[in-house]
Amino acid sequence: MSDSHTNGHSHGPRTFEVRILRQDSPDGPSYWERHRVEHEADMNVTSVLQRIAARAETIDGKKVAPVAYDANCLEEVCGSCTMVINGRVRQACSALVDKLLADRPDEIELQPMSKFPVLRDLCVNRRRLFRALEKLHAWIPVDGYYAMGPGPRQSEEQQELAYPLSQCMSCGCCLDACPQYGKIEVVRREGETDQQFAARENAIYDLNFVGAHSISQVIYYNANPTGKLNAGERLDALIAPGGIQVCGNAQNCVAVCPKEIPLTTSIGRAGRETTKRAFTKWFDR
Amino acid sequence: MANQKVMIVGGGLAGLSAAMKLAELGVHVDLMSLTPVKRSHSVCAQGGINSVNEVTRQQGDSEFLHLDDTVYGGDFLQHQPPVKEMTDWAPKIIDLMDRLGVPFNRTPEGFRDQRRFGGTLFKRTAFAGATTGQQLLYALDDQVRRWSTEGKIRLFEAWDYLGPVLDDHGACRGIVGQDLVTMEIRAFPADAVVVASGGCGLIYGRSTMSMVCTGGAASRTFQAGAKYANAEFIQVHPTAIPGADKLRLMSESARGEGGRVWVPRKPQDPRPAADVPENERYYFLEERYPKYGNLVPRDIATREIFNVCTDEGLSVEKDRLCVYLDLTHIPRHTLDIKLGGILEIYEKFQGVDPREVPMKIFPAVHYSMGGLWVDYERSASGGLVAGSPKNQQTNIPNLYAIGECDYQYHGANRLGANSLLSCIFSGLIVAPAVANLLKGSKGTATGQPSSLFETARTEHQAAHDRLLRRPAGGENPYLLHQELGQVMTKSATVVRHNKALGEAFEKVGQLAERAERCSLSDTGNWTNQNVVFTKALKDMFPLAKAIVLGALQRDECRGAHFKPEFTIPGVDATDPAERRRLAEAWCDRFEANTQKWLKSTIATLNEGEVALSYEDVDTSLIPPRPRLYGLVGAELIEEVWKGRQAAKAITPPAGKNPSAKPAPKPAAVH
């Protein structure tokens, strides 16, 4: 069946260059490397990286280790393959080669995300992003998993407000583009166990900005009829250090979000609700 | 018992639901996943999740009819008690997911909305836009996150499962895993192991599956001695978007919401789709299957689309096989609310708005009905005994399998929107099964001699080191993978011929040998994706062989397994007496075929070679009947068939005990 997908409209073998910012290990230096790739129909950046891995040879004919990269669903719903392509943070799977070459002929430039520690080449460690979801209690605290009947009834209108927010795939684009979100690289100390290291890392992450994705998730869970019951907990976490007050309103997040999630609307709402929460708590003292 | 723990391999819907339920039952869980669990392949499921609901119930639907549709759609190849239990649980599962916050689409009154999926006449499918799998996964991911902050679940993300650790008695005592960043290989003692590693689509090169769906974990379990069942039953989804790196799914929900499949009657009509007048369009599914229309079961839709393009030469394009999937008659707003996610995928990857222009689609490998063989304990009422440690257990003691990587629920063909259900269901029922196993066991895995784990670890380390030391100039694993994909796609998908399968079996064997001579382009020990891929590739071959051999030996047509040489032709005579005679003969052949082939294929590995045997299927709840979708003379065959069934009901055959699960018995192939 895959044979059905022959290239029906090729113009002979055409090649293009790919410039990749590589790094062999977290503490190693980064360096640029150039590869040449043969053009095929319907290529995306992930298939370019697949060809480069198969060939493992630079433009000068030097044998090199394949470029390391993350990828999974290849249809822009898992968030794995996020990287900086021609200067813009996005998913490699939905970055179509023909479109990239139309904007910048003959060359594609790939870099790892800039705000997360590089593990190798285009692979980064995005654990901090998931930690923010823990910090903000991003879940519905149900009593348990026994059958208790359906959840509360909800209006169509509410579903249509919630659904776009729930499409956040934790890719990290909004964080990479945010001027307030700085890069944090925690280095493991000698003799530290997995648990000790994770605990120290969490403590550092928790003092720094949680970012647009998780602020939007607070709005999502607080709007849920059951999630609402402990909305205060999430708002308190959002007022703590590293919370919403760090946002500088640059609005880059909403511009780069691949799912077009109304992040700035969420931030605006979270701002009002946290202010209200702070006042109520102050008056209730 | 304190210090007992369970290792779950895989963090999709099945693995996460098992983890959260085990945590609720007070069992400590470790969960290992190739990818952060939120990025698991379950996110790709689009259309929805099935259950009988209040509306369909009042239209005559029931849990029993959901069971009936599932086993009829699956051509009766699945044991019925687990399916009965699943369809009984289905409404409760959807209620639970609703409570966990899944943003299901709503009716104007605020109830969950439902749509219709293939293989049923009822609107049984609850959905959250067209990203239902993603939404269900996120809700479970949330719960697991909640438990993990409390220390009840430990996640090992970006770890590769290398295989189970078995003791001298062949019981599972843990696993060995490898950190994909540091490449550290470590043994993890566990009192039970649950493999929830998903499908194996990458064996076919390109499919609708994600990059992690190599089948590696299932294969490693198979190589450790677990039985693998019904490997040859691979679902080819009727509608996918062809691409260079992946064949992207176009959900059945597009047809569920009224999408129509057609081709121009004039081959390769050069006019734009919109300019082809109605009477020059061939809505071939609607014409051939007036009852189900565009929502026939997937195996049938796939074959029809394939045939219309190949045999009938009516592909929309000449160089690229495809048909139209048309939504342009549906209002834009409705499409955005109900199908937004998938339409955006089409638009993003094809650069065409499917709300304005019909999509061009073609079938693609999508789901593995087969998988690791698992057991169950049948209850007196024909379902499962709740909490029985047998439920979902493989033939290796203490080792379980759930989700797509088990073979239990879908028989020869899976119905749309049943997989999200079977994944969550098997995850939820494996938890009490495992908890009860642990209660009944003495000692703990951590109490096992440390040499057991050290030996297993050392063996995997040595194999890893050997791979890294392979001399340069050998085979390229990525190119071998492409070759394997081509062989498998050509021989073991929609239409299967014994000659091609025989050749493919030899070819796969040759590729497997060549894979032993792979050279690595990366010999380092830091985030080495080259060595991880090469291991996964080598582990594709045992499953590939099981698929091809299973298909080769099964000389019949059943669900997704279609061999034109073994079809039973319909009744096309005109003389009434002759018609009756042909219908009787048809039913005789059908009964003989059922007798011979209504059996699970069981693959085992014997010194590296796949050996097959056959096991009876428990069809005690619903007797097998012919699947007559679209067959010529179907009404008459059905009449004859019903007559025979009625006669049998009066005199039941002696010696049948429907309450006992049939004992496994090997069957002769010829």
What CA–CA distance (Å, rounded) separates B40 from A80? Answer: 10
Chain B residue with Cα closest to A47 = B245
**pLDDT at residue B341, as a whole number:** 87
Q: Are B154 and B148 contacting, i.e. CB atoms less than 8 angstroms apart? A: yes
Check whether residue A62 and residue A171 sit in a common domain: no
Q: Which of A4, A134, A166 sits opposite B321 (nearest CB)?
A: A4
Query: What's the pLDDT tens digit per position in B319-331?
Result: 889 999 999 999 9
Band (A180; pLDDT cuts 50, 70, 90): very high
C-alpha closest to that of B335 among B314, B356, B320: B356
Check whether residue B250 and residue B191 sit in a common domain: no
Check whether residue B218 and residue B242 sit in a common domain: no
CB contact under 8 A, A150 and B210: no
**pLDDT at residue B394, as a whole number:** 98
**pLDDT at residue B648, as a whole number:** 87
**pLDDT at residue A13, as a whole number:** 61
Confirm whether B283 is domain-assigned. yes
Residue A50 has pLDDT above 80, yes or no: yes
Confirm whether A209 is domain-assigned. yes
CB contact under 8 A, B44 and A147: no
Chain A residue with Cα closest to B143 = A139
Please check whether residue A164 touches B, CB under 8 A. Answer: no
Residues from chain A contacting residue B147 (CB–CB below 8 Å): none
Label the pairing between strands B399-401 and B192-195. parallel
> How far does A272 lie from chain B, in Å, by closest CA?
24
Residue B661 has pLDDT above 80, yes or no: no
Please check whether residue B10 touches A, CB under 8 A. Answer: no
Give mean pLDDT, residues B596-606.
Answer: 97
| Structural domain count of chain A | 2
Residue A179 has pLDDT above 90, yes or no: yes
Residue whose tokens read 């879908």? B410
Give mean pLDDT, residues A16-27.
Answer: 97
CB contact under 8 A, B43 and A142: no
**pLDDT at residue B1, as a whole number:** 54
The whole-chain average pLDDT of chain B stands at 94
Which CATH number do you get for residue A175?
A: 1.10.1060.10
Share of chain B above pLDDT 90, in %: 91
Which of B400, B426, B452 delimits the end of a domain?
A: B452
Chain A residue with Cα closest to B491 = A1
Q: Which of A24, A39, A78, A161 is the mutation pick for testing B, counting most B CBs within 10 A? A: A78
**Separation in Å, CA A175 to CA A117, A184, A213, B39:** 13, 12, 8, 18
Q: Which of A145, A158, A219 is the mutation pick for testing B, counting most B CBs within 10 A? A: A145
Check whether residue B55 and residue B162 sit in a common domain: yes
DSSP state of B185: E
C-alpha closest to that of B209 among B454, B19, B488: B488
Please check whether residue A103 touches B, CB under 8 A. Answer: no
Partnered with residue B32 across adjacent β-strands are: B9, B156
**pLDDT at residue B629, as a whole number:** 84
Which of B363, B380, B409 delimits the end of a domain?
A: B363
| Structural domain count of chain B | 4
- Tell me how far apart the terminal alpha carbons of chain B are, to the nearest angstrom: 51
Check whether residue B35 and residue B175 sit in a common domain: yes
Confirm whether A235 is domain-assigned. yes
Check whether residue A113 and residue A198 sit in a common domain: no
Which CATH number do you get for residue A104?
A: 3.10.20.30
Residues from chain B contacting residue A56 (CB–CB below 8 Å): 521-522
Cβ within 8 Å of A, B 297-316 = 306, 309
Host H or E run for residue B189: strand B185-189
Which CATH number do you get for residue B496?
A: 1.20.58.100
**Which is more confident, B133 or B649?**
B133
Residues from chain A contacting residue B321 (CB–CB below 8 Å): 1, 4
**pLDDT at residue B607, as a whole number:** 86
Band (B409; pLDDT cuts 50, 70, 90): very high
**pLDDT at residue B668, as a whole number:** 40
Check whether residue A111 and residue A236 sit in a common domain: no
Please check whether residue B154 touches A, CB under 8 A. Answer: no
The whole-chain average pLDDT of chain A stands at 94
Check whether residue B66 and residue B136 sit in a common domain: yes
Of A244-248, B83-87, B241-245, which range is least confident? B241-245
Give mean pLDDT, residues A263-274.
Answer: 98
Q: Which residues of B are catalytic?
A: 298
Confirm whether B52 is domain-assigned. yes
**pLDDT at residue B658, as a whole number:** 43
Residue B570 has pLDDT above 70, yes or no: yes
Residue B335 has pLDDT above 60, yes or no: yes
Residues from chain A contacting residue B103 (CB–CB below 8 Å): 159, 162-163, 166
Check whether residue B79 and residue B188 sit in a common domain: yes
DSSP states of B611-633: EEEEEE----SS------TT-TT
Check whether residue A138 and residue A272 sit in a common domain: yes
Number of A/B CB contacts below 8 angstroms equals: 231
**pLDDT at residue B651, as a whole number:** 65
What CA–CA distance (Å, rounded) separates B132 from B142? Answer: 15
Please check whether residue A93 touches B, CB under 8 A. Answer: yes
Query: What's the pLDDT tens digit per position in A87-103?
Result: 999 999 999 999 999 99
Q: Are B4 and B438 contacting, i.e. CB atoms less than 8 angstroms apart? A: yes
Residues from chain B contacting residue A120 (CB–CB below 8 Å): 526-527
Band (B652; pLDDT cuts 50, 70, 90): low
Check whether residue A138 and residue A255 sit in a common domain: yes
Q: Are A235 and A273 contacting, i.e. CB atoms less than 8 angstroms apart? A: yes
Highest mean pLDDT among B624-628, B629-633, B654-658: B624-628
Check whether residue A113 and residue A138 sit in a common domain: no
What CA–CA distance (Å, rounded) separates A84 from A90? Answer: 6
Band (B660; pLDDT cuts 50, 70, 90): very low
Confirm whether B667 is domain-assigned. no
Residues from chain B contacting residue A4 (CB–CB below 8 Å): 242, 309, 320-322, 362
**pLDDT at residue B245, as a whole number:** 87
Confirm whether B616 is domain-assigned. yes
Residue B566 has pLDDT above 80, yes or no: yes
> How far does B147 lie from chain A, in Å, by closest CA?
10
**Which is more confident, A264 or B3?**
A264
Chain B residue with Cα closest to A223 = B101
DSSP, collapsed to helix, strand or coil, labels residue B168 as: coil
Other beta carbons within 10 Å of B534? 26
CB contact under 8 A, A44 and B139: no
Please check whether residue A186 touches B, CB under 8 A. Answer: no
Query: What's the pLDDT tens digit per position in B415-457?
Result: 999 999 999 999 999 999 999 999 998 888 988 999 999 999 9
Please check whether residue A134 touches B, CB under 8 A. Answer: yes
CB contact under 8 A, A147 and B206: no
Please check whether residue A231 touches B, CB under 8 A. Answer: no
Residues from chain A contacting residue B524 (CB–CB below 8 Å): 24, 65
Q: Are B418 and B404 contacting, i.e. CB atoms less than 8 angstroms apart? A: no
Check whether residue A275 and residue A136 sit in a common domain: yes
Confirm whether B565 is domain-assigned. no
DSSP, collapsed to helix, strand or coil, labels residue B2 as: coil
Which of A70, A105, A120 delimits the end of a domain?
A: A120
Please check whether residue A59 touches B, CB under 8 A. Answer: no
C-alpha closest to that of B366 among B138, B133, B599, B567: B133
**Separation in Å, CA B136 to CA A51, A210, A216, B14, B103:** 34, 24, 19, 11, 9
Check whether residue B14 and residue B126 sit in a common domain: yes
Check whether residue A112 and residue A138 sit in a common domain: no
Cβ within 8 Å of A, B 577-596 = none
Check whether residue A136 and residue A22 sit in a common domain: no
Which CATH number do you get for residue B84?
A: 3.50.50.60
Of A161-165, B296-300, B657-661, which range is least confident? B657-661
Check whether residue A66 and residue A139 sit in a common domain: no
> How far does B44 lie from chain A, in Å, by closest CA?
7
Confirm whether B458 is domain-assigned. no
Sheet containing strand B359-368, strands side by side: B248-249, B234-241, B359-368, B323-326, B260-264, B281-282
Check whether residue B447 and residue B473 sit in a common domain: no
Task: Find the domain containing B631 and state its range.
Answer: 575-650
Of A8-12, B150-154, B233-237, which range is least confident? A8-12
Confirm whether A267 is domain-assigned. yes
DSSP, collapsed to helix, strand or coil, labels residue B609 as: strand
Check whether residue B93 and residue B210 sit in a common domain: yes
- Give residues with Cβ within 8 angstroms of A185, minimum separation 6: A26, A117
What CA–CA distance (Å, rounded) separates A73 from A60? Answer: 32
Confirm whether A44 is domain-assigned. yes
Confirm whether A2 is domain-assigned. no
Confirm whether B308 is domain-assigned. yes
Confirm whether B309 is domain-assigned. yes
Band (A41; pLDDT cuts 50, 70, 90): confident
Please check whether residue A37 touches B, CB under 8 A. Answer: no
What CA–CA distance (Å, rounded) separates A219 from A206? Answer: 19
Which CATH number do you get for residue B358?
A: 3.90.700.10
CB contact under 8 A, A76 and B345: yes
DSSP states of B231-257: TT-EEEEEEEE--SS--EE--THHHHT
Check whether residue A220 and residue A236 sit in a common domain: yes
Residues from chain B contacting residue A94 (CB–CB below 8 Å): 348-349
Residues from chain A contacting residue B148 (CB–CB below 8 Å): 134
> How far does B25 lie from chain A, in Å, by closest CA?
10
> How far does A252 lie from chain B, in Å, by closest CA?
21
Confirm whether A29 is domain-assigned. yes
Neighbouring C-alpha atoms within 13 Å toward the C-beta of A202: 14
What CA–CA distance (Å, rounded) separates B363 from B354? Answer: 18
Check whether residue B207 and residue B269 sit in a common domain: no
Task: Find the domain containing A173 and state its range.
Answer: 126-144+153-283
**pLDDT at residue B630, as a whole number:** 83
Confirm whether A3 is domain-assigned. no
Check whether residue B473 and residue B509 sit in a common domain: yes
Check whether residue A85 and residue A183 sit in a common domain: no
Please check whether residue A193 touches B, CB under 8 A. Answer: no
Confirm whether A57 is domain-assigned. yes
* CA pseudo-torsion sign A131, A132, A134, A140: negative
Neighbouring C-alpha atoms within 13 Å toward the C-beta of A35: 26
Please check whether residue A132 touches B, CB under 8 A. Answer: no
Kindly provide the ipTM of the predicted complex, given to two decimals: 0.95
Cβ within 8 Å of A, B 28-67 = 35-36, 38-41, 43-44
Check whether residue B333 and residue B421 sit in a common domain: no
